[in-house]
Every structure is written in C-alpha cells, then in structure tokens.
Chains A and B, each alone.
Chain A
Amino acid sequence: MDNTLQVLLEVTNINKCFGPTVALRDVGIEVRKGEIRGLVGENGSGKSTLASIIAGMQKSDSGEMFFMGKKWEPDSMIGAQIEGISMILQEMNTISGVSVAENLFAGQEKKFSKFGLISKNKMNIAGDNLLKSFGVDHIKASDSIDLYGFEDRKLIEIVRTVTKDTKILVVDETTTALTHSGREFLYKLIEKIANENKAVIFISHDMDEILKVCNVVTVLRDGDIIGNLIKEEMNPKTIRYMMVGREIGDAYYRTDYDTTHDEEIALEFKDAWFSSVSDFNLKLHKGEIIGIGGLSGSGMRDIGRAAFGLTTITSGDIECKGKKIRGCNDAIQRGIAYISKNRDTEALILQGSIADNIALPSIPELTGPALFISPLALRKHAQELTDKFSIKCGNVNQYISTLSGGNKQKVSFAKWIGKGSDIFIMDCPTRGVDIGVKQSMYQLIAQMKKEGKAILMISEELSELIGMCDEIVMIKNDKLSARVKRSKELKEIDLIEYMI
C-alpha cells in the first residue's frame, strides 16, 4: 500500500502561542484513510488546540497543512466543514427555540426555498430522512429542539456535522457528556466512517475508551508531540508514561487485595429513602473503601449528599458511629468529610487563598481563647498540609484559582485531613485531574484505608472503582442493583450490566 496515497491530512511545523504560553511547538501529524487516531495528553498538552486549528476554529502562528494533497487553510469551521473536515465539541452547539430540521439544515435553507419562501414541509421530510440514515429513530425533524435533552441534541448536532462530504471527523472530548447509549451511537458512527476509508481524530481523557475505539494514537505533552503508537503498541502504561514524562510505575491503583477492615461501623444507611432513592441499605466500616458506581443521574450522587446531611431523608435513618445524622454541620462534627464533584462551585472558594480554603473547616480547632485565631498558627497549619500533599504553589496565600485542577483537588483532600475527619465521602475524586496527580491520590486513598479511615467513593469511572474499592455497590434506576467484592478477575464488562 502506497502510504502517500492514503494520507488525507498532513500537518507540519505548527506553532501556536497564547501570550506567553506556548500551546503547540513545532507539531506535525499525518492522518490516513481508515484511521481512528486518538489524540491524548494532559490538560494543557495542546491536543484541543491542534484539533481546533485543523478544523478551522483558529489559525496557527506558523506551519503548514495539506488536506487531500492541497494546501489547507480553512478560515472558519463552516468553511472547513464544507471542504470535508468537521468537528464536534463538548459544549452544546445547537440553536434553541427552533425545530430539529432548522437545526439540521442551519445555513442551508436555500435548498428548500422557492421564490424566497422556505418550505418547512420539505425541510422536515429531508430531516427525517437524514436522521434515519444515521439510525436515529426517536427524533422527529418537525419537533422543536427544546423538547429534547442534552444528549439528543448532541446526536442532532452529530447528524448535522457529519455530511457526505466529511472526510475527517474530529471528536473533541464529546463523550464525557454522553450516556452509555449516546457513546455507543458515536462509536458505531466512528467505525462506519473509518470503514468508508475516511478518518476520525478522537480526543478523550478516558483511557479505556481510547484503547477501545482507536487504532492509532498520538501523544502530546506540554505542546510537543511525544510519539505515535499503533494498535499493537497501545497499552495504558506506555501511554501514561508518554503523557506524564516519567515512569508512573506499575502501581496506579491499589496493588493489594486485602479487603479486611475494622468491625466498627462508621456510616450506616438503614432503609433510607431520600430524593429519588428508595430503601437504601449500606454499612461502611472503619478502614474500608466502598465504591458506588452507576450512570450519572442514577441516584448515586444523592447517596453521598444524603450521608453528608445535604439532602433530607424522608424515611429511614442514616447513622454515623451509631447516632443519627442531623444535617451538614452535625455530619462534619462527627468526622464526616465530603468532597463534592463540583470542585469549583461547591468544594472550594475560588476567590480565596489556598490557606483560606485549607483552614476553613478547621477554624474551630484553630481558635484560641477569646475567639482569637492566630494568623501564624493558621498559616503554619496550611503550610504543613500544603507540604504534606505536595501542592504546587508559590506560597499558601496565593489565590486558589491559580492552581491546576489536580492541585485544587489536593486542597479539597487536605482540608479534611487537616481537620482530622475520619469518614470520607468523595464524589468523582479524580475528575479532570492529570495522571501524575491521579496516581498520588490513589496512593493517598490507599494509605487512608490503612490508617483506618472509612471511604465512600462515588465514581463514574469503572476502572477506578475496580482498582481501588474493597466492595463496589452498583446503582441502577435509584436502586441498589449489585454488590461486588474486590477481585483480580473483576472486569468492567462484569459491572456494566448492573448499570444500564
């Protein structure tokens, strides 16, 4: 096979800076027919920047691109789409207030107009046909798009973006917001495109997904291309190594299979009913890690909120160390810590400094006589924790908004460890966190178990639950659907049926 004939897109010597920050440094890739090329890297590695330059969303500072043998200089995303490279984004990109058909054919109304009047009927028929050709049966072109939820609107957007002219489809982190069925739809579409001798550039943070979907992978780090791997070479360890730049080591998740824990019950749900969850029973012991898994929206989030006193219990009890929990402050007093999934809006005060955030729960402990809180003591407390958790910062009085996602998450952990909490409820603890930090967090959690702390880990990442928990509780449709014990043989597939 002559390689050059197969090359759809060739990109060389691309440079891009945003002010003093270098996003891409002398980057070049090739995309061939039939490739599903994964583009992976940490936050700030440049993968989104590269994809957006290819798809016409922004221009590079220097470098050249060749598409189908000709110079490729798209001036807009629409222009790029017409020529054959389309991109789907993570955010919502459909227009509210109009119909599905009007969204599908946005910008192409002329095709359906005679003497200046647009035939809605014709547009709707064309729309339905188009949706059917993608295998989407449950959406009607004549409906207002507001009738459909986020995922369906994403599907509509995908249908709109992938035209018969599309030669390269760029998928930028779209899957994080989709449910299982949405993702399956997208995977099938990607496969179909590849089989038609076109290509897909696929960006995702999910290692399992990358391994499953892509047949070739390009790894970026800090604006440089580190390397390309073909299917046979793709394995998590190597990819992680290339992403982070150092040996992650074999130990990513917990390596031990010791599920022993104390007798003492730290947290107990007794026939508890709260928000949409009914009749929930669970016992969490000291020194135990229990994971809660399921689809987002299945009710697992509320389990954590209820245990922390954020949601009212309509029936039954939630007890902490034997006594009923009466609200958030009570929970904290008893030693429960809650690390919310919404890091920036619920878990941290962005306006504040690192010290402000780390010390906040511990203020009662830091208070001396006459309500006096010594600024020195506070700073010392914050500094100790910052050092203990290796939080990368200039000094503890820096704004917390200057930290990366991973370091912010470390602050969330540190503030509760600093208070001396011994029951941790964590919701998606490693979301948006870079691999290096992720690893250190897993080590920390393993250490916490050894120290006798009780951990309730709510997560959408099955591999995380499998790697870390003594027991995994699966939630489906607001009810407990399965309890699975930690074992070497446990695989994701085993759990998926309990989710859907």
Chain B
Amino acid sequence: MENKNINININNNINKNISINSIKTITMPLVPYLGLMLVILIFYITTDGKLFSPYNTRIVVQQATALSIICLGAVFVYSLGELDVSIGACVGICTLLEINIINMGYPLIVGFIAALVLALSFGLINGAFSSWLGLPSIITSLFLMFVGGGVQALITLKSNTITTDYDFTLWKETWFQILMLVIVSLIVAYLFNYTRVGKYTKSIGANKVAASQSGVNVFKYRIIAFLIMGFNVALASIFILSRSASSSKATGGGMHMDVMIALIVGGMPLAGGMKSRFTSALLGAFIYVILTNGLTLSGVGITYVPFVKSIIFIVIVIITGRKKGGILPR
C-alpha cells in the first residue's frame, strides 16, 4: 500500500515535468508569431498608421518576396544544421545570366533556365562535393562565394552596371508576388512537413549518425536540400532583377547574411534538427523587412538602424535558444 502511494507521488512529479515541457513545446514556436505581431503593432503606432498605407504595403511585399522565397528554400539546408554563404554570389550571377540573355532577345524563361542550371550546380557543389571531399559545406560555399563574386566583377568590369528595358511589370505586381509566395510556401510546406524530405533533413540535422543508422541516405538528402534551395534562389533572382532592371557587381551581395538573420529571427535553430520549422522563413523575412521599413518610416536616424537590428537579433536568439542538457533531472 505504501509503495503504491510512493509510486503515485513520483509519477505525479514526472507528469508535472512532462506537462511543463508540453507547454514549452507549444509556446516556443509561437514566439516568432508574437514577434511579428509586436513589430507590426509598434510600428503602426510610431508611423501614425503609414505602415499600412497602400503604397507601403506594396513596397514591403516587394522587398520581402525575394527574401522569403530564398529563405523558404534555405529552410532545408538550415534544418540540416548547415549554412550557405554563397547565396549572394549565386543571386548575382543568376541575375547577370538572365539580363544578358533577355538583352540578346530571348524570352525570360530561357534566362530562368540558364540561371536554374547555375543555381543547381552551386547546390550540387555544396551538397555533393562537400560529401565527397569530406569537407563541411561551409568551405565549399565560401569557395563559391569568392569565385562567384569574382565572376560577377569580371563580367561587369567594362560596364559598371548592365541594364535592360525588359518589361517586368508582371513581376512587380503585388498580387503576382503574393501568388508566387503562396505557391512556393505551399510546396515547401508540403515537402517539409508531409514528405520524407523534411523529416529526413531534420533528422540529419538532429543526429547524423542515428539518422543514417535508421535508414536515411544522408548523402542523397543533403544534396536534395541544396538543390531545393538552388531552385528557390534562381526563382528569387528574377524578382530581384525585376526591382532594378539591372545587374551590377554588387547585386545580391550580402544576401546570405539577410537570409541567416531572417531565419534566426523567425525561430529557426542554427543547428537545425527537429525543431526546424518552415514558417520561420516567412515570419523571419517579413519581420526583417518590416523592421527596416518601419524604422526608417518612423524617422529613426539612419545611423541607428543597424544598431537596433543587431539588438533585436541578439534578443531573439536568446529567447529561442534552448539550454543544453536534459529536461528532467535524471
């Protein structure tokens, strides 16, 4: 009889710890949503409502589209626990390819295919070569970043910037951008949450050895992750090109940092793993863009903007970071 009571007491404690954990599991993913709502609310107030003026909504969507699309692709790579710093150079060369092709008179789709081939090659190098050479993918992506940047500079050496007269109005229409965003998000959501692609990449990020011992073909799925990201980069490059109708040696520069910050702000763990969520791409990209936009609109001195952004970044990392170690005392 005594024993039973003792056992019940201890079971209650264990259950309490388990329910605290369930609460944590539910609330943690909500933090980025809260973040977005708070950012919107605060800036709505400080900009006297200008945040939602038709003009501003249009430019926010325009500024966020390309970033969101790339982030959605990057979700797979980041869930592996890896990074890609060659995104910027890839975007730059993609836009260069596209602009040159359409300036020669070919339709945009040809340009897109060329850019796609390039972006997929970048993905292959990062995904496959890194495995074959036994290097972490960050090394291959650094290499690609330098090579890509060099190519960009070389091509644009003669003429500072290459411009085009191509009619990009469709790509600048807000409804089209939202439509593309929705389509890409749905596809990524499906692949990430309802097929083995997302489940496998998350497992690899969480524990590569256990994943491979449970039947996950690590080599294959790393490549798939990078290829998916490559596709998204090529698609996003058209949106980036459409904004300025030109491509220079600086196009795309720094994009990889924007992606990293956006994903982290959106709640993606840097080490990848089971906690990765595709929503962090959308939430993060929009928070990031609205932040810059809102700060400038509210009249924050331009010098303060990077400072404020870095504070927010650190705070969000602290909030969504998990302590190492167990949950129950063992």
Please indicate the chain B residues that have their CB under 8 angstroms from the CB of A439 in the complex: none
A224 to B2, CA, bound (A): 11
Given A245-B3, A360-B216 in contact, is the A372-B10 Cβ separation under 8 Å? no
Query: Are B10 and A345 in contact (CB-based, < 8 A)?
Result: no
Residues of B272-330 contacting chain A, CB below 8 A: 273-275, 326-330
Query: Are B10 and A351 in contact (CB-based, < 8 A)?
Result: no
Query: Are B7 and A347 in contact (CB-based, < 8 A)?
Result: no
Query: Are B214 and A415 in contact (CB-based, < 8 A)?
Result: yes
A245 to B13, CA, bound (A): 20
Please indicate the chain B residues that have their CB under 8 angstroms from the CB of A367 in the complex: 195-196
Given A222-B6, A394-B15 in contact, is the A349-B203 Cβ separation under 8 Å? yes
B17 within 8 A of A: yes
Most B-side CB within 10 Å, residue of A310, A328, A350, A351: A351
B210 within 8 A of A: yes
A149 within 8 A of B: no
Given A20-B13, A345-B210, A402-B18 in contact, is the A361-B195 Cβ separation under 8 Å? no
Please indicate the chain B residues that have their CB under 8 angstroms from the CB of A21 in the complex: 10, 13, 329
Q: What string of 1s and 0s marks CB contacts (under 8 Å) between B176-208 and chain A?
A: 000000000000000100111101100100110
Query: Are A372 and B13 in contact (CB-based, < 8 A)?
Result: no
Given A20-B16, A360-B211, A373-B195 in contact, is the A329-B274 Cβ separation under 8 Å? no
Please indicate the chain B residues that have their CB under 8 angstroms from the CB of A360 in the complex: 199, 203, 211, 214-216
Query: Are A332 and B273 in contact (CB-based, < 8 A)?
Result: no
Given A329-B215, A349-B207, A363-B199 in contact, is the A19-B329 Cβ separation under 8 Å? yes
A423 within 8 A of B: no
Please indicate the chain B residues that have their CB under 8 angstroms from the CB of A332 in the complex: 214-215
Query: Are B210 and A402 in contact (CB-based, < 8 A)?
Result: no
Q: What is the CB-to-nearest-CB distance from A180 to chain B, in angstroms, rounded to a whole number?
A: 29
A354 to B330, CA, bound (A): 18
Please indicate the chain A residues that have their CB under 8 angstroms from the CB of B327 in the complex: 399, 401-402
For this complex, into which size category does the number of interface residues on chain B fall? 35 or more
A256 to B207, CA, bound (A): 40
Q: What string of 1s and 0s marks CB contacts (under 8 Å) between A416-459 and chain B?
A: 00010000000000000000000000000000000000000000
Q: Which residue of B lies closest to A360 (CB)?
A: B214
Please indicate the chain A residues that have their CB under 8 angstroms from the CB of B330 in the complex: 43
Query: Are B210 and A347 in contact (CB-based, < 8 A)?
Result: yes
A409 within 8 A of B: no
Please indicate the chain A residues that have their CB under 8 angstroms from the CB of B209 in the complex: 345-346
Please indicate the chain A residues that have their CB under 8 angstroms from the CB of B27 in the complex: none
Q: What is the CB-to-nearest-CB distance from A471 to chain B, in angstroms, rounded to a whole number?
A: 26
Query: Are B195 and A371 in contact (CB-based, < 8 A)?
Result: yes
B21 within 8 A of A: yes
Query: Are B213 and A364 in contact (CB-based, < 8 A)?
Result: no
Given A21-B329, A373-B194, A398-B18 in contact, is the A347-B6 Cβ separation under 8 Å? no
A296 to B176, CA, bound (A): 64
Q: What is the CB-to-nearest-CB distance from A315 to chain B, in angstroms, rounded to a whole number?
A: 24
Query: Are A373 and B199 in contact (CB-based, < 8 A)?
Result: yes
Contact of B213 among A18, A347, A350, A374 (CB under 8 A): A347
A353 to B199, CA, bound (A): 12
Q: What string of 1s and 0s marks CB contacts (under 8 Å) between A369-412 and chain B?
A: 00111110000000000000000001000110110000000000
Query: Are A329 and B196 in contact (CB-based, < 8 A)?
Result: no
Query: Are B21 and A399 in contact (CB-based, < 8 A)?
Result: yes
Q: What is the CB-to-nearest-CB distance from A248 to chain B, in angstroms, rounded to a whole number?
A: 15
Given A348-B210, A401-B327 in contact, is the A222-B10 Cβ separation under 8 Å? yes
A347 to B214, CA, bound (A): 8
B9 within 8 A of A: yes
A103 within 8 A of B: no
Query: Are A310 and B274 in contact (CB-based, < 8 A)?
Result: no
Please indicate the chain A residues that have their CB under 8 angstroms from the CB of B329 in the complex: 18-19, 21
A340 to B18, CA, bound (A): 27
Query: Are B207 and A361 in contact (CB-based, < 8 A)?
Result: no
Please indicate the chain A residues that have their CB under 8 angstroms from the CB of B273 in the complex: 351
Most A-side CB within 10 Å, residue of B6, B9, B215, B330: B215
Please indicate the chain A residues that have their CB under 8 angstroms from the CB of B244 in the complex: none
Please indicate the chain B residues that have their CB under 8 angstroms from the CB of A347 in the complex: 210, 213
A351 to B21, CA, bound (A): 13
A338 within 8 A of B: yes
Please indicate the chain A residues that have their CB under 8 angstroms from the CB of B57 in the complex: none
Q: What is the CB-to-nearest-CB distance from B10 to chain A, in angstroms, rounded to a whole number?
A: 6
Q: Which residue of A lies closest to B197 (CB)?
A: A371
A332 to B194, CA, bound (A): 23
Query: Are A340 and B213 in contact (CB-based, < 8 A)?
Result: yes
Query: Are A351 and B215 in contact (CB-based, < 8 A)?
Result: no
Please indicate the chain A residues that have their CB under 8 angstroms from the CB of B196 in the complex: 363-364, 367, 371, 373
A69 within 8 A of B: no
A478 within 8 A of B: no
A352 within 8 A of B: yes
Q: Which residue of B lies closest to A342 (CB)?
A: B209
Please indicate the chain A residues that have their CB under 8 angstroms from the CB of B17 in the complex: 20, 402
A82 within 8 A of B: no
A464 within 8 A of B: no
Given A22-B10, A351-B274 in contact, is the A338-B328 Cβ separation under 8 Å? no
Q: What string of 1s and 0s marks CB contacts (under 8 Å) between A46-58 and chain B?
A: 0000000000000
Q: Which residue of A lies closest to B273 (CB)?
A: A351
B160 within 8 A of A: no
Q: What string of 1s and 0s marks CB contacts (under 8 Å) between A327-359 and chain B?
A: 011001000001010000111111111001000
Please indicate the chain A residues that have their CB under 8 angstroms from the CB of B19 in the complex: 394
A375 to B193, CA, bound (A): 9
Q: What is the CB-to-nearest-CB distance from A163 to chain B, in angstroms, rounded to a whole number?
A: 33
A8 to B209, CA, bound (A): 50
Query: Are B217 and A329 in contact (CB-based, < 8 A)?
Result: yes
Q: Which residue of A lies closest to B220 (CB)?
A: A329
Query: Are B206 and A351 in contact (CB-based, < 8 A)?
Result: yes
Please indicate the chain B residues that have their CB under 8 angstroms from the CB of A356 in the complex: 199, 203, 274
Q: What is the CB-to-nearest-CB distance from B277 to chain A, in angstroms, rounded to a whole number?
A: 13
Q: Which residue of B lies closest to A370 (CB)?
A: B195
Q: Which residue of B lies closest to A245 (CB)?
A: B3
The 9 closest A-B CB pairs, nearest first, are A371-B195, A351-B274, A360-B214, A332-B215, A20-B13, A352-B274, A349-B207, A361-B215, A351-B206
Instruction: Please name 6 further chain A to chain B contacts, defined as beta carbons within 8 Å, in addition to the given A363-B200, A372-B194, sorted by A numbering.
Output: A20-B16, A222-B6, A346-B213, A347-B213, A371-B194, A371-B196
Task: List, sorted by A's number, 23 A–B pairs whose CB atoms are closer than 8 Å.
Answer: A20-B17, A43-B330, A222-B10, A245-B3, A332-B214, A345-B207, A346-B209, A349-B203, A349-B207, A349-B274, A351-B274, A360-B214, A360-B216, A361-B215, A363-B196, A371-B191, A371-B197, A373-B196, A394-B18, A398-B18, A399-B327, A401-B326, A402-B327
Chain A positions within 8 Å of B, measured between CB atoms, are 18-22, 25, 43, 221-224, 245, 308, 310, 328-329, 332, 338, 340, 345-353, 356, 360-361, 363-364, 367, 371-375, 394, 398-399, 401-402, 415, 419
